[in-house]
């Protein structure tokens, strides 16, 4: 790459199968049984509500974003520049006067 040239990359969404999000979901699945054994039917209803909240929270915790250029984990989706390779995550400027967005790296890569 030439000096002064801006490098562009895509953000890639990855999901973890095992991790803190999975642990939160498993705890959420156990709550209706524990609360049901302690408080009966009201405990089961409360446990189901808490279960749904923890399932949603756990699924959000399991989503991670990485740089498509260097595979560096990103803190969140709103980052504009990769802290490791300095690639920009916005679409590359078009050389033509078209207003359509440019395809990202993964859209143009042949597999």
**Confidence (pTM):** 0.60
Domain range enclosing 39: 17-61
Asked if residue 92 lies in contact with residue 103, where contact means CB atoms within 8 angstroms, the answer is no
**Same domain, yes or no: 72 and 110:** yes
**pLDDT at residue 111, as a whole number:** 47
- What tokens appear for 3 in the block? 């000096």
**Same domain, yes or no: 57 and 81:** no
- pLDDT over 70 (residue 11): yes
Domain count, the chain: 2
Q: How much of the chain, in percent, has pLDDT values that exceed 90?
A: 19
Residue (of 111, 101, 103, 106) closest to 14 by Cα position: 106
Helix (H, G, I), strand (E, B) or coil at 54: helix
């Amino acid at each position: 790459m030439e000096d002064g040239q801006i490098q562009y990359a895509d953000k890639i969404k990855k999901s973890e199968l095992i991790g803190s999000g999975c642990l939160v979901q498993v705890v959420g699945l156990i709550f209706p049984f524990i609360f049901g054994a302690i408080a009966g039917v009201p405990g089961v209803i409360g446990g189901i509500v808490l279960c749904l909240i923890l399932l949603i929270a756990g699924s959000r915790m399991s989503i991670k974003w990485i740089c498509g250029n260097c595979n560096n984990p990103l803190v969140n989706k709103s980052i504009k520049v990769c802290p490791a390779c300095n690639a920009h995550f916005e679409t590359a400027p078009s050389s033509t006067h078209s207003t359509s967005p440019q395809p990202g790296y993964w859209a143009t890569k042949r597999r």
